[in-house]
Structure 1
Amino acid sequence: MQQLWYTGPLASFDTETTGVDVESDRIVSAALVVQLAPGEPTHSTTWLADPGVPIPDGARAVHGITDEQVRAHGRPARAVVAEVTRALAAQARAGCPVVVMNAPYDLTLLDRELRRHHGVALAEGLGAAGLVILDPRVLDKHVDRYRKGRRTLTDLCAHYGVELAGAHDAAADATAALALTRRIGARYPAALGGLSAAELHLRQAIWHAAQARGLQRWFERSGTPERVDLSWPLRPARCGCGRRLEPAHGCEAAA
């Protein structure tokens, strides 16, 4: 009998950062949590980075990491970004799906950090084996589309009865997101259980785009100028002219 994706090995990735702008903010801490099966112990790898810029008060109030801490105990961001990418690449080669809550945030931020410090895109850093991503935010919106209320990690954990101890700590958030994703799969086996993780990865891109279009229409009806990015699990990089940057060739306008 084929193993269901939510009963097999899963990894989970999370970051804490200097802010919420994926184009300019920096990684302060990161965690990769791996669990072979439900109920098994989790194994965590964590990183503390000196982002090279001051941590704003707002970000510090969220995760509690100070400039003094990263200067005393953090490692250069260049080294941390490279190690995180290698760790994710190892999961990709092993065929282990990676849970990333709100993937377009964390993965895009990592992509921009990798470009900033090493001049390569995340896809290049990962190598031939691409990541298979499971995003509990997208999965929950798909299976319970009309439920009202916020869908942050804290909200989803409360809704599904998953413990979140120490919110806004990268390892704690990654551990909770992993358990949450297993719980969503187990609660909705008819909708999600018949698909492999790789098939879910492809479908989440479609589901996220549809969800984003719905949010965009709501913004337009309410007169809000905000634009919603349809891309998942990674927002494409763009050059100053606004065109998409291609990993090997730079701006697509110059190709």
Structure 2
Amino acid sequence: MTSWTEMPLAAFDLETTSPDPHTARIVSACVLRIDGGQVARRHWIANPGIPIPAEATEIHGFSDEYVQKHGHPHDQVVAEVVAELRAVWAEGRGLTVYNANYDLSLIATQDPTFTVGGLVVDPFVLDKQYDRYRKGAGQRKLSAVMIHYGMRLDDAHDAEADALAAARLAWKLPRVYPTLAEFAPDQLMERQTHWYREEGHRYADWLRRNDRDPSTVRTEWPIQTAPESEAA
């Protein structure tokens, strides 16, 4: 058995128009390949073809005027990102994506032919499994998780910075929790799928106990299907 930690890594992140992966469009994207101390970067700016809400601009800094001047057509960016992700997996790399369910679901929504073609490493899922009871509002945000594990993220919500942070967490977590390194790639995929599903069920149960609606809780990973109301 070969540990997933022996695989070369890539990393991926999107900045978008909204928090709903089934309706959001890409504003910027980055795919990194990490080989030792060397990082190869590919970065995109997309014109999403729809207005960028002010609250999204406040988060990532991209305005309508900027993407209209500097962005490439949205469909072109989607196609190039999909080709890059497929190439990463074809090279035998693990793809690190923090909260992969968002980024990969968005890509699958924009390109229904897209499927996961190799290992996905999701530090959001791993951290939540191995340190489930950590308290505090916002403790699962990428910047907070970086601090928790002794690292910094100075430019959060920049696609390149967030992708690199995810890769650093993928390197760090199996050193903090050595049992993580015992999984082969296919085992890690199965475990993450299971852990995400179980966490969703726990959260849904908590909502029910507190007389709240659990219907929006999703349990699929790393790509979730659109709710019926959005798929219709």
Q: Distance in 2 between matches of 1:45 and 1:171?
A: 9
Per the alignment, in what secondary structure is the counterpart of residue 165 of structure 1? Answer: coil
Shift of 1:193: 0.9
What letter is aligned with 1:201?
M
The answer (yes or no) to whether the contact 2:4–2:188 under 8 Å persists in 1 is no
1:56 aligns with 53
Q: Distance in 1 between matches of 2:187 and 2:75?
A: 33
Asked whether 1:6 is paired with 2:12, we answer no
Q: Distance in 2 between matches of 1:7 and 1:148?
A: 32
What letter is aligned with 1:50?
N
The answer (yes or no) to whether the contact 1:134–1:197 under 8 Å persists in 2 is no
What letter is aligned with 1:122?
F
1:250 aligns with none
Equivalence map 1:5-84=2 (5 Å): 5-6=4-5, 8-37=7-36, 40-84=37-81
What letter is aligned with 1:235?
Q
Shift of 1:20: 0.7
Shift of 1:209: 0.4
The answer (yes or no) to whether the contact 1:102–1:137 under 8 Å persists in 2 is yes
Q: Distance in 2 between matches of 1:198 and 1:3?
A: 10
Equivalence map 1:17-166=2 (5 Å): 17-37=16-36, 40-114=37-111, 120-123=112-115, 130-149=117-136, 150-166=139-155
2:163 aligns with 174
Q: Distance in 2 between matches of 1:136 and 1:177?
A: 7
Residues matched between the structures, number: 229
Q: Distance in 1 between matches of 2:108 and 2:189?
A: 18
Asked whether 1:207 is paired with 2:199, we answer no
With normalisation by structure 1, the TM-score equals: 0.84
Q: Structure 2: any 5+ residue segments left out of the alignment? A: none
Q: CA RMSD in A?
A: 1.9
When structure 1 is superposed on structure 2, of 55-64 and 219-228 the one drifting more is 219-228
Residues 62-92 of structure 1: CA deviation (Å, up to 9, x unaligned): 0000111111110000100000000000011
